[in-house]
Structure 1
């Protein structure tokens, strides 16, 4: 009970700290999404034989492979 009393007495401070943390998280994501120069680099998931592969190409290949496996196994 004493612990709950301490938490309640410092409630405003806790709310401020949590709000600041959430704001920092959202601001960081907004800042990252606004960067256009590194956006292409972030979309890259790997490189095979010197050819860069982005997320959409990789997902397309995974989907095609999944369909092939479904056809083979019936």
Structure 2
């Protein structure tokens, strides 16, 4: 995650919802969050919703993502 000026944002709690299951992770020093998704065992492409609920510095943000299992 980056702010509007392109600066990396660390330690933000973000959630990913896929197939009715919610996963939680925090952004690392590079602004990236890694999720351990255990319930997607079938091959295919899945839609997920990535959400940051906002805090005192940043507004809420959501994004639809595709997850491809090979």
Higher normalized contact order (CA 8 Å, seq sep 6+, divided by chain length): 2
Q: Normalising to structure 2: TM-score of the pair?
A: 0.22
Alignment TM-score, normalising by the size of structure 1:
0.21
In terms of fraction of residues, the more strand-rich structure is 2
Greater Rg over alpha carbons, structure: 1
